[in-house]
């Protein structure tokens, strides 16, 4: 299952700041599909901890963002329109900044991407 997640309302960073992420539940990886005012690498890994999803970089498990209440292990999985609070942690030396996440799309089709977005992914 793939999810499209929209992160926004990080007004302290930029009044129009947002990131659109594509999450792959099976591979536990994500890619950045669009952004303004919030900097993330092009892709990274996902970790689930206590019912929250940690959006981490490609080579470490330090979260750049925590999607509170987005439990990728929950039976039935996330649903379109589901929402929650996002904690932005990517700016070192600053306090956490809160915003929101919402699931824009849930794709249950099993299709290979035209181009692999994950560096080092030699299975595609």
Q: Is 16 inside a domain boundary?
A: yes
Q: Is 52 inside a domain boundary?
A: yes
Q: Give the sign of the dihedral formed by CA 79, CA 81, CA 87, CA 88.
A: positive
Residue 53's domain comprises 2-107
Rounded to whole angstroms, the Cα distance separating 119 from 36 reads: 22
Q: Is 124 inside a domain boundary?
A: no
Could you tell me which residues come within 8 angstroms of residue 54 by beta carbon, excluding any fewer than 6 positions away?
46, 47, 48, 61, 63, 65, 66, 67
Span 103-124, average pLDDT: 64
Q: In this structure, what DSSP letter does residue 85 have?
A: E
Domain count, the chain: 1
Rounded to whole angstroms, the Cα distance separating 79 from 68 reads: 15
Note the pTM of the prediction, 2 decimals. Answer: 0.83
Give the model confidence (pLDDT) of 20-62 as tens digits: 999 998 899 999 998 888 888 999 999 999 999 999 999 988 8
14, 20, 52, 113, 115 from 70: Cα distances, Å? 24, 15, 5, 24, 27
Q: Is 115 inside a domain boundary?
A: no
Give the model confidence (pLDDT) of 47-106 as tens digits: 999 999 999 999 988 899 999 999 999 988 899 999 999 998 876 655 678 889 999 999
Q: Is 116 inside a domain boundary?
A: no
Q: How would residue 116 be classed by pLDDT, with cut points 50, 70 and 90?
A: low
β strands within the chain, DSSP E: 2-8, 18-24, 29-36, 43-49, 52-56, 63-67, 83-88, 97-107
Q: Is 112 inside a domain boundary?
A: no
């Amino acid at each position: 299952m793939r999810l499209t997640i929209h992160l926004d309302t990080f007004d302290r960073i930029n009044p129009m700041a947002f990131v659109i992420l594509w999450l792959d539940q099976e591979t536990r990886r994500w890619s950045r599909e669009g952004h303004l005012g919030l900097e993330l690498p092009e892709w990274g890994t996902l970790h689930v901890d206590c019912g929250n999803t940690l959006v981490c970089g490609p080579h470490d498990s330090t979260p750049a963002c925590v999607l509170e209440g987005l439990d990728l292990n929950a039976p039935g999985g996330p649903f379109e329109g589901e929402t929650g609070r996002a904690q932005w942690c990517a700016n070192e030396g600053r306090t956490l900044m809160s915003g929101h996440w919402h699931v824009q799309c849930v794709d249950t089709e099993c299709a290979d991407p035209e181009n692999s977005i994950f560096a080092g992914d030699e299975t595609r």
